[in-house]
């Protein structure tokens, strides 16, 4: 397959992940949708690396994976701290800064 079809697939997955972030209200599921978006970006990077015939895109995808791992660790720790305070994982309940 040409790299273009992989890029189109990456765009579709990115869009689905974005809609998930907007629609869902459980913070864990929102995190999973963000992961889906990051994965879609990785797919695009790998496709572009193949298109240009060098490995720089794959290196960038590798760095994205590292940053995603760090993000998940800190994000889930924040989520647990919020859950301890509010007894809920819904993003609607985290409204302490509202008033």
Partner 1 sequence: MTHLLANGGAQGTNLDPIYSEVLFWILAVLAVSAAVVMICVRQAVHCALMLAVVMLSLAVMYAQQGAPFLAFVQIIVYTGAVLMLFLFVMMLIGVTSADSLVETIRGQRLWAGLGGVAFVVLMIVGIGHAAIGTAHVPTAANSTANLTGLATLIFTTYVFPFEATSALLITAALGAMVLAHRERTTPRLTQRQVARRKIASGQVAPEPPPGVYALHDAVDMPARLPDGSTTDRSVSRAITRRDVDLGRDPERSVTADLATEGRIEAERQIESAARGRDQQ
Burial tier of 89 (Cβ tally within 10 Å: 0-12, 13-18, 19+): middle
Kindly state whether residue 93 participates in binding partner 1, applying the rule CB under 8 A.
Answer: no
List the interface residues with partner 1, window 8-27 (CB under 8 A): 8-9, 11-20, 22-26
Size of the residue set binding partner 1 (CB under 8 A): 71
Cβ at position 58, least distance to partner 1 in Å = 5
x/- letters, 28..47, toward partner 1 (CB under 8 A): xx-xxx-xx--x--xx--xx
Q: Are 17 and 34 in contact (CB under 8 A)?
A: yes
């Amino acid at each position: 397959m040409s790299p273009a079809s992989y890029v189109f697939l990456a765009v579709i997955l990115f869009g689905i992940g974005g809609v998930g972030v907007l629609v869902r209200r459980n913070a864990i599921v929102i995190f999973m949708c963000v992961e889906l978006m990051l994965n879609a970006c990785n797919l695009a990077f790998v496709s572009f690396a193949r298109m240009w015939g060098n490995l720089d895109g794959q290196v960038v995808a590798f760095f994205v994976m590292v940053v995603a791992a760090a993000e998940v660790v800190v994000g889930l720790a924040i989520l647990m701290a919020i859950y301890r305070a509010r007894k809920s994982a819904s993003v609607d309940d985290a409204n302490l800064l509202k008033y």
